[in-house]
Structure 1
Amino acid sequence: MPKKPFPQTRPPARIPPLGSLRAFEAAARHLSFQKASEEIHVTASAVGQQVRTLEEYLGVALFKRLPRSLVLTAAGEAMLPKVREGFECFAAAIAALHKPTASGVLTLGAPPTFTSRWLMPRLHGFAAAHPEVELHVTTSVGMIDRNNEKVAADAVRLDPRDEDVITTIRYGAGRYPGSRVDRIFQGSYVPVCSPALLKGRRPLRQPEDLRYQTLIHDEGVADLVGRPAWSEWVQTEGVKGVDANRGPRFSDSALAIEGAIDGLGVALALWPLVRADVMAGRLVVPFEAPIPSGYAYYLVTPESEADRPEIVAFRSWLLAASTVETD
């Protein structure tokens, strides 16, 4: 008598019994209940029953049972990679329990301009304080939020089978579900330019003098909540006679700052990222007219990794190093 078809039901929210998943993964890999039984040390009929139990639980057929072989159905082929990945993650988690010490490697993702202009000049302090941590830094504009998005923990971690620890520095609104979030600093945008623009035939002395200067537009942050534009600054300061839309535009904030240093014009820059340049005389703030950013920099780490020694050490150092930006 043919077996009744499986009822097509909505996939259950709970995880099926692990024994049935293990039997499915082994049978799918070997395409044989007999070979799967030899691997997991039960009878072939027990493997078949476990798979049948799983199919009934899910409400779909995972195999086509031919006279002398098994063939995965479309549902089985779709399910297999994730089930296999899950067991590999279990194995990695168990192996991690037997490590005598942490890996000593901290992989950090961060926005490019933050990394080059704020983090890099300070990293020697972390290296000196924690020589046991090998820091791997990668930069990406993906570490900048877009349109107040929420970023799940899965978006800030590497493959859980990798041994390296992963944490990120993000510039955004601070909504990162499933992650431990530490606010580093926020800061305001200020107009900056080369000291040379304060001299010459039309020196820059007051906001109205911007009509004679080139306005540099930083478009490295897509969301205007996190990056005020010249049009907003001009309106906030009540400046008349300045065309806030003219001037060159850069998709990289670092290029906009370099343009200001080289005398190209006046840029709106996040104060913590140009503080050192102003202190060194490479840039000046021609007039005190800051405008706050709606974004801040955050250290974002999956909760599952947040207490790793490497991350604890980096978090402590980073928050101490950033204290000056909140003074």
Structure 2
Amino acid sequence: MKRTHLPLNALRVFDAAARHLSFTKAADELAVTPAAVGQQIRALEDTLGVVLFKRMTRNLELTPEAERSLPALRAGFLQFEESVRLLQDGQGSRVLTIAAPRDLTAKYLGARLAVYARSNPDVRFVISAIEGTPDFTQANLDLAIVYGGEPTEEGIHGRTLAVETLVTVAAPGADDALPRIAHPGDAMAPGLTVSDAGLAIDTAAAGLGSAQVPATLAAADLAAGRIRQVGEPEPTADAYWLIAPTPQWRQAKVRAMVEFLLG
């Protein structure tokens, strides 16, 4: 019999009836009526073309064929249970794998995850550094955060982490005329160039220049007084996006993290 045709529910009823040798007791275990158990057993016998029980006056007896089949059947159910456990462990609620740009993790995400962990001490995080959109078919990721325009990749669903603006920052007391620090998101500046916007913030804090960076990255350092804002924020069409393949948004752990980050 093909796997797609296996009468799994009826086999479960058969297992319960075989353990109790009673349709009534099997019905109590399965929370159905004795008549429903009897119907499942008759349908299974018709499907398999075998007799499973000898109907005695006051009880049931297994046929020799039915009795021989039970060890393999029960071993099969144990294998199903192990398969489900492995699936749940692989996407278990205690492990959350997130990919994000390195500077976002350093300047924003790490602190937010620390807050989340205090309320969810059983959760373990696996963080991967990325640039650009990750390949979810190659990486075992639950969620990713990317910077740029709205994701257009097929099968990827995104939500905006925050309405983004660009702020220019410099060290407290630094001259506003300091040269601008260039980074991949702001390559127009002459002179000093660094690898990412987070490093641009740190370089600006050291007094080596000013840097224009996403406000999300600068917020914590501005609040701590390590840097100051120069001028007014500027609008940008880019933003940080929470992205994942559409089916993964049904995972409870992904929904919980997204709600926390957006809250």
Question: Into which bin does the TM-score normalised by the smaller protein fall?
Answer: 0.5 to 0.7
Whether the aligned pair in 1 keeps the contact of 2:164 and 2:240 (CA below 8 Å) is: no
Residue type at the aligned position of 1:255: L
User: In the alignment, which of 193, 215, 218 is matched to residue 180 of structure 2?
Assistant: 215
Q: How far apart, in 2, do the equivalents of 1:98 and 1:169 lie?
A: 27
Q: How far apart, in 2, do the equivalents of 1:158 and 1:309 lie?
A: 22
Matched position secondary structure for 1:265: coil
Call closer, same or farther: CA 1:97–1:189 in 2, change over 3 Å.
Answer: same
Q: How far 1:166 moved relative to its partner?
A: 2.0
TM-score, scaled to structure 2: 0.61
TM-score, scaled to structure 1: 0.50
Q: How far apart, in 2, do the equivalents of 1:216 and 1:121 lie?
A: 25
Q: How far apart, in 2, do the equivalents of 1:171 and 1:246 lie?
A: 23
Whether the aligned pair in 2 keeps the contact of 1:191 and 1:266 (CA below 8 Å) is: yes
For the pair shown, the structure with the greater C-alpha radius of gyration is 2
Q: How far apart, in 2, do the equivalents of 1:111 and 1:134 lie?
A: 19
Residue type at the aligned position of 1:174: E
Q: How far 1:265 moved relative to its partner?
A: 0.8
> Are 2:210 and 1:266 aligned?
yes
Matched position secondary structure for 1:126: helix
Matched position secondary structure for 1:123: helix
Residue type at the aligned position of 2:252: P
Residue type at the aligned position of 1:134: R
Call closer, same or farther: CA 1:95–1:180 in 2, change over 3 Å.
Answer: farther
Partner of 1:132: 122
* Deviations, residues 223-276 of structure 1 (Å, cap 9, x unaligned): xxxx5x55xxxxxxxxxxxxxx53211222222111100000111121121112
Residue type at the aligned position of 1:316: E
Q: How far 1:124 moved relative to its partner?
A: 1.6
Matched position secondary structure for 1:127: helix
Q: How far 1:177 moved relative to its partner?
A: 2.5
Q: How far apart, in 1, do the equivalents of 2:236 and 2:251 lie?
A: 32
Partner of 2:67: none
Q: How far 1:131 moved relative to its partner?
A: 2.6
**Percent sequence identity over matched residues?**
26
Q: How far 1:97 moved relative to its partner?
A: 7.9
Whether the aligned pair in 1 keeps the contact of 2:99 and 2:141 (CA below 8 Å) is: no
* Deviations, residues 42-85 of structure 1 (Å, cap 9, x unaligned): xxxxxxxxxxxxxxxxxxxxxxxxxxxxxxxxxxxxxxxxxxxx
Partner of 1:156: 136
Partner of 1:108: 98
Q: How far apart, in 2, do the equivalents of 1:141 and 1:186 lie?
A: 20
Whether the aligned pair in 1 keeps the contact of 2:169 and 2:210 (CA below 8 Å) is: yes
Q: How far apart, in 2, do the equivalents of 1:171 and 1:96 lie?
A: 36
Q: How far apart, in 1, do the equivalents of 2:255 and 2:239 lie?
A: 21
For these two proteins, the number of residue pairs brought into alignment is 183
Whether the aligned pair in 2 keeps the contact of 1:165 and 1:305 (CA below 8 Å) is: no
Call closer, same or farther: CA 1:98–1:156 in 2, change over 3 Å.
Answer: closer
Structure 1 gaps, min length 5: 1-17, 20-91, 144-150, 198-202, 205-209, 222-226, 231-244, 321-327
* Deviations, residues 79-117 of structure 1 (Å, cap 9, x unaligned): xxxxxxxxxxxxx9x934885675232111011111110
Q: How far apart, in 2, do the equivalents of 1:140 and 1:131 lie?
A: 26
Structure 2 gaps, min length 5: 5-79
Call closer, same or farther: CA 1:130–1:306 in 2, change over 3 Å.
Answer: same
